A = this chain, B = another copy of it.
């Protein structure tokens, strides 16, 4: 996990990816997608049991994580790939991933 300390205007997203039809265990594909994500400049991420949380200054950087993940899973031979992405872009208030969790926990 890499997470930014500084509050700033960011896009936060949740992302998941898996191949369909390669067996019920998909963790080695997810691992490879995470490796690709970890190389993207300006992108912070956090792994959770269902999704990977992505944080970047612009939507474009988040979308490049989606593209890199698809490319990573495809390069392992998957013939059908499903991914989901939900972006939450907020322009009125600087925040971090951590802020979002704290605002509902306190």
Contact = CB atoms under 8 A, between A and B. Distances in A.
Interface residues of A, number: 54
A104 B30 contact: yes
Interface of A: 12-14, 16, 18, 20-27, 30-31, 34, 46-51, 53, 55, 59-60, 63, 66-67, 70, 74, 78-93, 97-98, 100-101, 103-105
A44 to B, nearest CB: 11
A37 to B, nearest CB: 11
Contact of A24 (B21, B24, B70, B98): B21
Given A66-B59, A80-B89, A53 B53 contact: no
B84 A85 contact: yes
